[in-house]
Structure 1
Amino acid sequence: MSYSISIPRLFRKKREGRAAIWILPLLAVALLGAVFLSLGVGGVSISIASSIEHFFSYLGLNQSTLEPQEILILEAVRLPRTALGLVIGMSLALSGGVLQSLFRNPLADPGLIGVSSGAALAVVSIIVLGDTFFAPFLDLTKNFALPIAAFIGSLSITILIYQLASRRGSTDVSMMLLMGIAVTAIVGSIIGLLTYLADDTELRSLTFWSMGSLSGAGKAAWPSIAIMIFSVIFLLRLASPLNLFLLGETEAKHLGIRTESIKRQAALAAACATGAAVAAAGMIGFIGLIAPHLARLIGGADNRFVLPASALIGALLILIADTIARIIVLPAELPIGLVTSFIGGPFFFVLLFREFKRRHL
């Protein structure tokens, strides 16, 4: 399954281009609203006006009217959580958008090339075998053990798949995609075996981690956040060369693009972004698939628009999903991965149906 994008469709008409210019500021405004909604909604409600007033108080413009308990909740719990959601949403969405353009496949996302499964295998190994085989690693990394393991696992699997798909200095992106699916299946069987060996406490930890949550926002997530910010900036810089990839790898090479370098940079940057996101919050599915498609639906296929729009939409979706997860089963909290799956599953079905219908017209 591949994109069929012609030059006139890729580079939009002037009128459509002007419309796309206005979409990004609108998305930014919507994201700002989602940020204040995320800061205010929960077991203790804090109004948007009170939140804004409180942050302005640090500039000496007014006095905060919040109670000490509300300030503690806002600054120590919700603000780090919201910040983590922003960078995770951007990272997953950008990774999906870049990989879809690289593979010229509308169904590509970071999970297909083994990034998520590599992180999952590393975390499951640490949880189940940490007291025996990985005790020195736990002693060395302490509270950072799971994030570091997840990041190393995702990056290692991506490098392995990239090497398996390379021959004589050239990487076949189709083979890379197939290798990713095969390796993901193998890794899944190993995870299943480790899960079978886990005790009740370990199974509970595995279950909560696999469903994803932003509740771990804190000092342990800082290295992951730094990696995601760097990766987001790097992925945004790939917009122009990826536009030419949509025309075909051979055409891109004839137009002067160093295709092997771009493939290597895109794969590694997406692995870093996704691995850091999984390390910080566990498995959160469908954002890398949904956000780029929504961006293309509202603004066309030009990656100079699609990538920044995907980042904004991904962050918006994560914050909305997290807000729903916090309030739908109060006083408990629903894992955010379940919410994104409820949203992404039907979207994925509609996408498959549309593609099937298009092919049989």
Structure 2
Amino acid sequence: MLLLAASIVVSLSIGSASVPLSDVWRILLNYVTGAAGDGGADPTAIAIVTQVRLPRIVLALLVGACLSLAGAGFQGVLRNPLADPFTLGVATGCSVGAAFILLFGYHMTVGMWLIPGVAFVTGIATLGVVVTLARARGAMNIQTLILSGVIVQAFLGAVVSLMSSMSQGVVNEINAWLMGSISARGWEHAQLVLPFLAVGAVVLIRYAMALNLFVFGERHASHLGIEVERTKLSVLIVSTLLTAAAVSVAGVVGFVGLVIPHLIRLIVGPDYRLIVPLSALGGGIYLLWADTLARTVASPKEIPLGVVTAFIGAPFFAYLLYRRKMQQGGTL
């Protein structure tokens, strides 16, 4: 929590227009408490902190927390530390809806909320297709579920590529969505994501003990009183809702749901009662700093957020795999 608070304050002071940390603390205190006056701070600095950077930072925290929680949920259900919100094709399903709206320009007539809304619906529909393909005799086999997700993801990825190739004037918009960004987002987007994060965190914490028992296998978990199929379906649905909510406002941002839960597991152990809440905090901090780098490294240009998370996450995860390989005597 201290790292989170420090990250917020430091990130608020970093940008093309630098704001001293002392001013940031004063502005935040006045903003949160609703105190009258500017506390001696520059009005321009107040506008930059409260109207430009703070909404973006809050959204980065929420999106990062959603993706990390979803990653923890998928890893627990699939019993695979390499699983993430993209394993079952949910993010790609969201991209299909967004690309469709951008291709035909419906967002220009209906409004800005059409893209997140349609992306959310197509993401949920993707999970429905994957679960339907994987279910047999009222049960879902984990291997079949993963295979179904890979097949659906490959197909939907081809659909997105087809729409991108068909587009002319909006190809850059589609590519920007696929690379992820929270630029030009405001408080309304944060308000959209917050309810899903609040409900999702509560549900996943409730199922944390069941996810701990899944480590011993579904049969053992069932013998210990866990309703296996109900638990799997509930966690998958909640994790999908978290993923769809994050992707619908930020586009495709990879590696957050893969790296952060895995890192938390290395730090605190395999107990999901710790992994779930700490993944939310870690994911928020990770995406906050990734977005800070995205908007400052090449200023005044901005690097796509998904590119930054990939540049940071891929080498780091490769290091984790190498470390695990060395610990196992040189074999993965």
Q: What TM-score, normalized by structure 2, do the two folds share?
A: 0.93
Structure 1 position 150 matched with structure 2 position 125? no
Q: 1:79 matched to which residue of 2?
A: 54
Q: What TM-score, normalized by structure 1, do the two folds share?
A: 0.86
Q: 1:282 matched to which residue of 2?
A: 251
Give a deviation string over 1:60-96, Cα, whole Å, max 9, x none: 4995222222111111111111110111111101111
Matching of residues 226-237 of structure 1 within 5 Å: 226-237=195-206
Secondary structure, counterpart of 1:283 in structure 2: coil
Q: 1:296 matched to which residue of 2?
A: 265
- For the 8 Å contact 2:19–2:45, the answer to whether it is kept is yes
Q: Which consecutive segments of 4 or more residues in structure 1 shift more than 4 A? A: 60-63, 354-357
- For the 8 Å contact 1:124–1:195, the answer to whether it is kept is yes
Cα distance in 1 for partners of 2:295, 2:246 equals 19
- 1:57 counterpart letter in structure 2: N
Q: 2:178 matched to which residue of 1?
A: 210
Cα distance in 2 for partners of 1:226, 1:114 equals 23
Secondary structure, counterpart of 2:113 in structure 1: helix
**Structure 2: where are the runs of 5+ without partners?**
none
Cα distance in 1 for partners of 2:187, 2:275 equals 32
What is the aligned-residue identity percentage?
A: 35
Cα distance in 1 for partners of 2:193, 2:282 equals 21
Secondary structure, counterpart of 1:143 in structure 2: coil
Q: 1:118 matched to which residue of 2?
A: 93
- 1:213 counterpart letter in structure 2: S
Task: Tell me the C-alpha RMSD between the 2 structures.
Answer: 1.9
Matching of residues 99-248 of structure 1 within 5 Å: 99-130=74-105, 135=106, 139=109, 141-199=110-168, 201-218=169-186, 220-221=188-189, 222-248=191-217
Alpha-carbon offset, residue 340 of structure 1: 0.4
Give a deviation string over 1:119-160, Cα, whole Å, max 9, x none: 011111111134xxxx5x875x52101111111111110111
Q: Which one of 18, 31, 37 corresponds to residue 10 of structure 2?
A: 37
Q: Structure 1 residues 163, 230: CA separation in 2 closer, same or farther (over 3 Å shift)?
A: same
Cα distance in 2 for partners of 1:174, 1:247 equals 16
Q: 1:47 matched to which residue of 2?
A: 20
Q: Structure 1 residues 143, 259: CA separation in 2 closer, same or farther (over 3 Å shift)?
A: same
After superposing the two structures, state which structure 1 stretch, 212-221 or 314-323, moved more: 212-221
- For the 8 Å contact 1:80–1:218, the answer to whether it is kept is yes
